[in-house]
A and B are shown apart, each in its own frame.
Chain A
Amino acid sequence: MTATSPAPAAVELVRVRKDFGSAVGVADVSLKIGQGEFLTLLGPSGCGKSTLLGMIAGFLTPTAGKIVVDGVDITDVEPYRRNIGMVFQSYALFPHMNVFDNIAFGLRMRKLPKAEVAGEVRRAIEMMKLGGFEERRVSQLSGGQQQRVALARAVVIRPKVLLLDEPLSALDKNLRAQMQVELSELHRKTGLTTIFVTHDQGEALSLSDRIVVMNRGEVQQVATPIELYRTPANGFVASFIGEINALPVARYERDGGEAALVLPGAGRLVAPAEGNFAHGAQVRAFLRPEHVRPALPGEDRPNIVSGVVAAHIYQGSHTITRVEVDGLGLIETRVTGADIVGTHPVGAPIALVLDLGDAVMLAANAGRIDA
């Protein structure tokens, strides 16, 4: 899976591999990360994203492959000579130092003159809105403030690359949303090449220039958030990014300009004909809940299926309704507001319109979901 980045590569991974005994942590990952790019490594826990980050930081040695930063092979360079900033999931702030000393640590290690250290730290404190907290113990700070100290400490050394290891996961929901905004502001202000690790697809979609989806140590897809959402490369990506309905495997039938999916037990659905599947191919369609809607009374058009309401998940601005559809299994539809809870209570029959024009169609073998 190669994706070209427009800017010259700040970080290049060349067939990087990490084995843990006989288990594969990261399998031959090659990746180019552009100067100033915000790249996210996204995947479920154990997918190898943190291992990859650890190798870039230098805490883990790759079993094979090389890591190049700014054109220099750093695979065998010790962590403390790499000049790569990192924010840890636990923040790893030094509990025996105050905010100022935490932020100054990296500069002092670089033996900068005292006045220069003070100036740089002051700038970082200002940028992260930590003014007035210089003398505070880190244990006296809130989670969000600790997060900002960790960020300030990492960016003040002007690293070549900034690594963020699930930095938002310890924060509560509101704070997380706010820190997302601050993270992207920080990225814009500093222009630092940033590699962000998360298992939260929402964070990944909102922050990233590009997202690398990983599973079981392997890269599944590298794409921009919009591409990833619209055209997932396989079933894993389709189901990992956002909510999606996976229809059962179907036979693709093509007749001139018309195409159809033949589902065993559910009949024929009219499908878009622009796909490059051969007549008779086994395909799987993925359909987002927003592309499924309740049929209007008396509506008559193709791709209307009927089922029984199984559950409503009320989300405030919208409702996710789960419908047990004959032959298709559970299909989720996303409806604005909460009216559907009244009009179609649980157990009531309901007709759904499947908007297959917006569906993602994948060959059945690529549609395997192994999340």
Chain B
Amino acid sequence: MTQQKVAIIGAGPAGLQSAISLAEMGFLVQLFEKEKQPGGHLAHWHVLFPDRQPANEVLDALMISAMNPNISLITGAEISAIEPSGRKWQLKKAETLICEVDAVLLASGFKLFDAAQKEEYGYGIYPAVVTSSELEALFMHQKPWPFNENLESPKIGLVHCVGSRDAKCGNLYCSKVCCVTAVKQAIELKKTFPAAQVYSFYMDMRMFGLGYEELYHQAQMEYRVQFIRGRLSEASPADGQRIQVKAEDTLMGRPLKLTLDMLVLMVGMTPSVVLGNGSASVELKKPMFADGFVKMPGQALDDSRLQKPGLFVAGACKGPVTLPDVVKDAKATALDICNYLTEVL
């Protein structure tokens, strides 16, 4: 009996974990990653909520498990279409055949919202306006802080829901992880600059996970982060490189203004790929305005299979999700793929 083959598109946490599970079940896995390095967004993260576990610890553990003779990782490989060929599937890049496999798993993850689209926040115009993802790079000393590090008490603001819950951006959904990320980053900022004044501008604090509300509580009591209910309306230049922000303080019922040394935009998750579903083949297309994530037909009881037998989806390409949930989804999807391959044998 020849070993059955599975192709996985995307070597972030979802792709890596599914590859590990499938390889351990005895399947041959070809893991395709369009970037030069595997790991997805996890590779660019400092510490993880809610326990502040170093992200590289998690990625290293995944990479060690992925060193399995059944897994071949192919980086710098972007797949553009999946086409049926009998009971098998062919992966193609433009017109070139890359491989033929028994099942395909799409694990292409998410893209961060492009903060420059919210022009009123001045991202890309004022150097003191950074994204939550860039803040992680700052924590890892990969670039200099956009203000004088010797400031006695830098003032830093975090804005929730940038590109989420915003019809103007085409995204009506909540990106789920940004609220707790903002709380985690506020705490990390206070640990880096103990005398800093940190303000968080929120609409709701969506602390849905175990340990999240506790972290929020800790940010209020121990780290004295100020939470202000109101969506930031605009950021404008103040003296030097500082930023003046305006918001409605909805608990006061009055407008509020504040000058900051750095403004952090909590950018949401957006789809990385849209499935073109014309004929028999499935094209992987670049998302357009308000395209949304990959929709799963099975809903509650089966959210890993597309309507075409042998095509599966795992992780954040289905919508905003936390890392532990991605890992669970990847393991569950690997089992679905195993069941499918056992049936078709």
A and B bind: no
